[in-house]
Amino acid sequence: MYVEPNTNERLEGQKSIPFYKKQVRRALRNCGFINPEDINEYIAADGYQALAKCLTEMSPDEVIDTVVQSGLRGRGGGGYPTGLKWKYTRQSQSDEKYIICNADEGDPGAFMDRSILEGDPHSVLEAMAIAGYAIGAQYGYIYIRAEYPLAISRLEIAIKQARKLGLLGENIFSTGFNFNIGLRYGAGAFVCGEETALIHSVEGKRGEPSSKPPFPAQRGVWDKPSCVNNVETFANIPPIFLKGPDWFKKIGTEKSPGTKVFALAGKVNNVGLVEVPMGITLREVIFEIGGGIKNNKKFKAVQTGGPSGGCITKDNLDIPIDYESLSSIGSMMGSGGMIVMDEDNCMVDIAKFYLEFTKDESCGKCTPCRIGNTRMLEILEKITKGNGTEQDLKDLAQLGDVIKDTSLCGLGQTSPNPVLSTLHYFEDEYLAHVKDKRCPAGVCQSLFSFHILPEKCVGCTACARICPAHCIEGELKKVHVIDQERCIKCSACYNTCKFNAIEKG
């Protein structure tokens, strides 16, 4: 039987294990339970029943009303009401319309869409067909990252099987409704997760965003009205029709009903995908489901929303997770990456990491994002090298605000968030870098050095032997000394010493 490591208790059944106790699996309902390469197993789990119900018993307007009533909001990060998106696309007049599934899960640290596509691809296909019926589209594209080869192959199999059974193709359920789905591959461009950029990429062009309006609901792929929804959003659709919108609203908060899948990673004991009701607190997710911080270190921050989000500190651990409250503390829901950091992580370094990412991934179309992020990164590099000034911190804040206000697409409008939120919550850490030229977490190499504490050193020579720069001197059983000039700060001695005789600072 499973033994809970914290209490050494033997636990019966999955539901009593702390990792699962507070989880509610809706979007992930079939993942791991059915064979994703066999359509019959999906059908046995009530698969394609929702599509049958929509096509045979409901009008497109009723379908849209049901989704509106459920209150489902886009799980890709923005939180736009899904039903409204469908409604606007339906209202656009056109001979052709398209449904697009955004499976370009580019946020580093998020992998729920990959898991859904690999574990339950049919739920996405079924929901796309329902959406197609609702808005009046006969064709759908799934735009998926080339980095996910297994998900691609599972989708290919699923599409083939669904076509064979007539669940995709012509005259589905003998209702005269035709719907087909094709795959489009990404090629390593983060900005393609933005819907207008994604649409250009589907057309085989450079994935640069364009300004809205016109919104995709008016002019999308091939200039036809298109509706772009995220994988997890689609995965939530079929149960809404089988169990009703009221069932869906039963959990979650008033404005953000339902569940959200988070990818819990970083310095926490239990990592992995967790699906929890909206409104749960970060503390419950990190300390109950996640089992607390690794190696009994101290919690420092949790980062949500990927490169567009911000860091949340221990003071805000008890706020309920929903779209609005995360935005109100300078972060965002994002696609659901949740990276936990402990006392060994330097927040300036983390901010720099995210900015390196957005600088690389900026498509270069608009100036604030292209130049602004580069300048911000230069300032952060200066600070982590120990050459920063207090004026630099003011410049960072001002530059960040301008980039947010003036960038063309979501990438630039949110890219300063990691810097601004760390600047807000960890100002003391920034100040330590610029005023005292010290990195409190001991991460920024130019801002710390290693010293051997004479009272603790027993002269075992372990550090001298491991030092790649051969810069530690000392005889056996005598106190050793590090030559600061030649030290490359690789931490090898620090990690090797068994007597805690090496101090970092």
CB of 334 to other proteins, least distance (A): 11
What is the nearest approach in angstroms of other proteins to the Cβ of residue 222?
7
Residue number with CB closer to other proteins (106 or 216) = 106
- If one counts every other C-beta atom within 10 angstroms of the C-beta of residue 360, the result is 10
Any contact of residue 488 with other proteins (CB under 8 A)? no
Among 7, 25, 5, residue whose Cα is nearest residue 272: 25
Burial of 489 (0-12, 13-18, 19+ CB in 10 A): middle
Q: Specify the DSSP class assigned to residue 185.
A: E
Strands 337-342 and 472-473: unpaired
Helical axes 231-243 vs 60-70, angle rounded to 10°? 100
- 163 sits near other proteins (criterion: CB under 8 A): no
- Residues in region 281-310 near other proteins by CB under 8 A: 303, 306
Scanning 435-496, the segments in alpha helix (DSSP H) are 462-466, 492-496
Among 31, 99, 110, 285, binds other proteins (CB under 8 A): 110
> Candidates 14-22, 264-272, 277-285, 394-402 — which segment interacts with other proteins by CB under 8 A?
264-272
Q: By CB under 8 A, tell whether 505 contacts other proteins.
A: no
Q: How far is the CB of 52 from other proteins (least distance, A)?
A: 27
Per rule CB under 8 A, is residue 103 in the interface with other proteins? no
DSSP designation for 215: P
Q: Which of 234, 241, 354, 425 forms a contact with other proteins (CB under 8 A)?
A: 354
- Sign, Cα dihedral of 305, 308, 314, 318: negative
Residues 6+ apart with CB under 8 A from 101: 124, 128, 140, 141, 142, 143, 228, 229, 230, 231, 234
Given the rule CB under 8 A, which of 71-79, 212-220, 249-257, 339-347 is the region that contacts other proteins? 339-347
Reduced DSSP (H G I as helix, E B as strand, rest coil) percent helix, strand, coil of the chain, to 5: 45, 15, 40
Q: Which is nearer to other proteins, 264 or 399 (CB)?
A: 264
**Cα distance between residue 142 and residue 148, in whole Å:** 13
Decide if 290 contacts 269 (C-beta within 8 A): yes
32 binds other proteins (CB under 8 A): no
The encoded tokens of residue 315 equal 């003071």
Binding to other proteins by CB under 8 A, coded x per residue (else -) over 137-156, reads: ---------xxxx-------
Choice between 13 and 204, CB closer to other proteins:
204
Among 23, 92, 201, 422, binds other proteins (CB under 8 A): 201
> Taking contact as CB under 8 A, which single stretch among the options 41-49, 234-242, 322-330, 333-341 is the one that binds other proteins?
333-341
Distance CA 354, CA 403 (A): 15
Q: Which of 30, 47, 64, 105 binds other proteins (CB under 8 A)?
A: 105
For position 257 contacting other proteins by CB under 8 A, the verdict is no
> Smallest distance, Å, CB 151 to other proteins?
9
Based on its alpha-carbon atoms, the radius of gyration of the chain, rounded to whole angstroms, reads: 26
Q: Is 339 in the site for other proteins (CB under 8 A)?
A: yes
Strand partners, 454: none
Please name which of 24, 81, 85, 16 lies closest in space to residue 261, comparing C-alpha atoms.
24
Query: Does 2 help bind other proteins (rule: CB under 8 A)?
Result: no
Q: What minimum distance in Å lies between the beta carbon of 190 and other proteins?
A: 7
Q: Verify binding: residue 206, other proteins, rule CB under 8 A.
A: yes
Q: Is 179 in the site for other proteins (CB under 8 A)?
A: no
Instruction: Name the residue nearer to other proteins (CB basis): 87 or 114.
Output: 114
What minimum distance in Å lies between the beta carbon of 109 and other proteins? 4
Interface with other proteins includes 190 (CB under 8 A)? yes
259 or 345: CB nearest other proteins: 345
Range 8-45 burial, b when 16+ CB lie within 10 A, else e: eeebeeeeeebbeeebbbbbbbbbeebebeebebbeee
Q: Contact between 358 and other proteins (CB under 8 A)? A: no
For residue 424, what are its two tokens?
Answer: 């807000």
Site residues, other proteins (CB under 8 A):
105-111, 114, 146-149, 182, 184-190, 201-208, 222, 263, 265-267, 271-272, 303, 306, 337, 339, 341, 345, 350, 353-354, 357, 361, 363
